[in-house]
Structure 1
Amino acid sequence: MKCLLLVLAITIQCTLAQSETYTDRYDTVDLDEVLSNKRLTVAYIKCMLEQGRCTSEGRELKSHIVEALQNGCEKCTKAQREGMRRVMKHLIKYENNYWQQLVEKYDPTRTFTKKYEKELSSL
């Protein structure tokens, strides 16, 4: 009986852990297409900065950006973690002015972004 309860508890915990991730609905967004198209990249950035309209993907991202920065993307799917790193690296390298604006808005004390910048610069 104790073994059955243990298995049930572990199953419930795993189920809860899985449901505590962000939606994977947008995991298939083609980041290469977005990042290679300056107009599209800037549109997403302006959404994040509240300077432009947002797509449903942009609204979803914006709703989780602070939490994801603070907890190391703990609730992200694997695709989201990899995508976050790719996007941040691209912004730092090619859109640094926008990167600085995003940092100012979402991490003005640079508490979290310093870690990411250091990690990404070593790649």
Structure 2
Amino acid sequence: MNLLILSVLVVMIAATSAEQYTDRYDNINIDEILTHIIDAIQSSCSKCTEMQRKMSRKVVNFIKEQEKTFWEDLKHKYDPGDVYKPVYESFLAADD
């Protein structure tokens, strides 16, 4: 009986102390980032800093490779006619 009570307590404590993501990114201005998505796609991130280009490539290539359905949804939303496909494919393949 004591083992059962102890087990229930351990499970309850574990459930209440679930880990959270770090708050390190809580102050990033997401609205500002969102206003630049279309321009970044259309211009190969020409206004991005070197670090922004590197991180953008990493994120987008991850989505393309690991989240194929989500990638198709993004392409359909932001470039339904594949007008900018050569631009962003070239950008994603680059290593500058």
What's the offset of the Cα at 1:83? 1.0
Match of 1:14 in 2: none
Q: Which has the higher contact order (CA 8 A, sep 6+)?
A: 2
What fraction of aligned residue pairs are identical, expressed as a percent?
33
Match of 2:72 in 1: 100
Q: What is the number of equivalent residue pairs in this alignment?
A: 70
Q: What does the per-residue CA deviation read over 1:29-78, in whole Å, with 9 as the maximum and x for residues that have no partner?
A: xxxxxxxxxxx8xxxxxxxxxxxxxx854322211000111111111111
If the length of structure 1 is used for normalisation, what is the TM-score? 0.47
Q: Tell me the C-alpha RMSD between the 2 structures.
A: 2.6
Gaps of 5+ in 2: 1-20, 22-26
Equivalent residue for 1:59, pick from 21, 31, 34 = 31
Gaps of 5+ in 1: 1-39, 41-54
Q: Which has the higher helix share?
A: 1
If the length of structure 2 is used for normalisation, what is the TM-score? 0.59
Residues 119/81 of structure 1: CA separation in 2 closer, same or farther (3 Å cut):
closer
